[in-house]
Amino acid sequence: MSEDRLLHQIDSPADLRRLPKEQVERVADEIRHEILERVSQTGGHLASSLGAVELITAIHYVFETPQDRLILDVGHQGYPHKMLTGRREGFEGIGQAEGISKFLRRSESEFDHFGAGHAGTSISAALGMARAKHHKGEPGCTIALIGDGSITAGMAFEALNHAGHLQEKNLVVVLNDNEMSIDPNVGALSSYLSRKMSAPATRRIKGWAKELLESMPGDMLHWARKAEESLKVFFSPGLLFEALGFRYVGPIQGHRMDVVLETFENVKEMLAQGSGPILVHALTEKGHGYEPAERDPLKYHGVTQFDVGTGQFAPKKPGPPAYTSVFADTLIRLAREDERIVGITAAMAPGTGLDRFQKEFPDRFYDVAIAEQHAVTFAAGLATEGMKPVAAIYSTFLQRAYDQVVHDVCLQNLDVTFALDRAGLVGADGATHQGLYDIAYLRTLPNAVVMAPKDENELQHMLETAITYPGPAAIRFPRGGGVGVPMDPEIKAIPLGEAELLRDGDDVLIVALGTMVHPALEAAVELATQGISAAVLNARFVKPLDQARLLPLAERCAAVVTVEEHTVGGGFGGAVLEALSTAGLSVKSRCLGVPDALIEHGESTATLGLDAPGIAASVAELLRSGARSSEV
């Protein structure tokens, strides 16, 4: 890398602001090139970050961060922000243990004012910060940078509505719009008008015109405002935001650094004049500046290692099919046989595999955008009319629709299937995306069935089980490749609640769930070399539990150990202990799972003691101990 880069002289936005304005565009170009160099080696979020380079650079140049708060929605476009705030060298370990996060983290930098990995939070947080500054009498404004995809989240509009109602004068929302199609000529003219209409001289002229019109007979001011509003509607899509109480500026060309800088400078002066809240509408392009990402921004959204010159990714090692692919293939097979089956996703069609379902059944596929709450209640509505909706939502994202799962699905006992992809640990994505809480928030709900497959073959049978069951059913399965077992040609429903005894034993019963079943079997083999006879029960179901198999085995063995890739608190192990307690069984026991702590990026089942050696060691230690009370 060239050592004469301006970027290498910047350790904070204060360094950036010391540069003359004409050099800011060069800094942005250098950021884009450095992101490509770094991410091509480490992997990470590429297209979104490339598309936001000019906006983020200009915000840090014009506004007084960190006194002025910058809140990035989701945070996957935050690499330029990290580059400008002292973390450029940290990209060598991004997403790895002890390395910087792929998202923003308050604990990582004073410039990360709000952490997020889920969409739609930025405007609410920014409004809260602005009001806090107001109450404390502190200087500075707050800027929320939100994408056109994220603004489809319901809470984003709730926040816009509240901010407009409050007429918060220290709030700026920057809408990073990389999808809207506007004719170039109209866009250029609208951009020109918006910049000029936000300029100081123009605002003064409008003030004089207002005074003149107020002095004239009749309601001339009213009709002048109507005419101005008509012009805005004709040249820009700002009517909605103006109706919500915002001053609308845009659309502007988000990759023209001169345009972006001038606009933000005008907006800063507007804030000083008390003109907030303001919404700046910037048109950008995902992957801007790198042709392969411009052509296919979805492919280059989250990347592994790739060659910058060709855009080619490093070849993947051959292996078993991914759980996501098995889910998609199975759903398509079942949908061919049952026209009532429909697929629902919340802006994650490729991530959940439903893009393949969409190609085969376009009329039975629904992408509701980033609106998990709506997705769940929409599914409930479909179910009331006899359809069989399958809502494919990541475990971490279904958290956002918990009330809908309770109130709209489970309390009415509606036939909705939830396919919870990315359940368990998610590696580099870290704390915001870990799927570690779904068992705890689902197993207490009336009418709900909760299950987890031990491998990809069992997943296909569980999907049939869930769809056949005439009520709410959830299947949790991990990201990544399967175990590599043969796939049964015929798909059959599993009897509801039936566990599977995979290995018999007399000394200890290991009750394993989902991804932990095969490591538990390996641990049992290791324990046998130590003279310990371990039975391994594949629970399959969190709810209902197979007490007919569980209780006799627990009564016969000296100890019971549960294993799950989920937080221990409120998890599967707790359900087993509750069953033992209700049956009056007093047995030495331990629950193995994820500890009650935020699990950062880079953690794995091995580091948490949930691989075969870790399970074997925990079982042996429990049997050596004298305690008979339940342990976690």
**Residue 512's beta-bridge partner residues?**
538, 563
pLDDT digits (tens, 9 = 90+) for 6-20: 989 999 999 999 999
- The total number of residues shown for the chain amounts to 632
- Which H or E run includes 631? strand 630-631
Angstrom distances, CA of residue 479 to CA of 2, 305, 322: 38, 19, 7
Inform me whether the pLDDT recorded for 68 exceeds 80.
Answer: yes
Task: For CA atoms 159, 162, 168, 174, give the dihedral sign.
Answer: positive
Mean pLDDT for 26-39 is 91
pLDDT digits (tens, 9 = 90+) for 100-136: 777 787 877 898 888 877 788 899 999 999 999 999 9
Report pLDDT for 187.
Answer: 40
Strands 142-147 and 302-303: unpaired
Q: How many CB atoms lie within 10 A of CB 627?
A: 11
Residues noted as catalytic: 286, 372, 400
Question: Roughly what angle, to the nearest 10 degrees, separates helices 184-198 and 220-235?
Answer: 140
In this structure, are residues 83 and 109 in contact, taking their beta carbons and an 8 Å threshold? no
In this structure, are residues 280 and 264 in contact, taking their beta carbons and an 8 Å threshold? yes
Inform me whether the pLDDT recorded for 181 exceeds 60.
Answer: no
pLDDT digits (tens, 9 = 90+) for 142-166: 999 998 888 888 889 899 999 999 9
User: What is the share, in percent, of the chain residues with pLDDT greater than 70?
Assistant: 89
Q: How many CB atoms lie within 10 A of CB 408?
A: 21
DSSP 226-262: HHHHHHHHHH-S-HHHHHTTPEEEEEEETT-HHHHHH
At 538, give phi and psi (nearest 5°).
Answer: -80, 105
pLDDT digits (tens, 9 = 90+) for 297-306: 888 888 888 8
Angstrom distances, CA of residue 12 to CA of 17, 295, 509, 623: 9, 33, 56, 55
| DSSP letter assigned to residue 515 | G
Inform me whether the pLDDT recorded for 227 exceeds 70.
Answer: no
Angstrom distances, CA of residue 607 to CA of 87, 437, 626: 26, 19, 27
Report pLDDT for 626.
Answer: 61
Mean pLDDT for 520-528 is 97
Mean pLDDT for 259-264 is 96
Strand runs (DSSP E) across 407-491, as ranges?
A: 417-420, 449-451, 473-476
Question: Roughly what angle, to the nearest 10 degrees, separates helices 122-136 and 154-166?
Answer: 30
Rounded to whole angstroms, the Cα distance separating 334 from 341 reads 8
Rounded to whole angstroms, the Cα distance separating 390 from 158 reads 28
Angstrom distances, CA of residue 50 to CA of 34, 230, 347: 10, 35, 21
Inform me whether the pLDDT recorded for 537 exceeds 90.
Answer: yes
Report pLDDT for 630.
Answer: 44
Q: Mapping DSSP to helix (H, G, I), strand (E, B) and coil, where does residue 45 land?
A: strand
pLDDT digits (tens, 9 = 90+) for 321-366: 999 999 999 999 999 999 999 999 998 999 999 999 999 999 999 9
Q: Map out the domains of the chain with their CATH numbers.
A: 6-303 (3.40.50.970), 323-476 (3.40.50.970), 500-631 (3.40.50.920)
The model's confidence at residue 561, banded by pLDDT at 50, 70 and 90, is very high
Report pLDDT for 318.
Answer: 85
Q: Mapping DSSP to helix (H, G, I), strand (E, B) and coil, where does residue 584 land?
A: coil
Angstrom distances, CA of residue 559 to CA of 85, 591, 610: 53, 11, 18
Is the pTM above the cut of 0.75? yes
Looking at per-residue pLDDT, the higher value among 507 and 47 belongs to 507
Helix and strand totals (H; E) in the chain: 25, 20
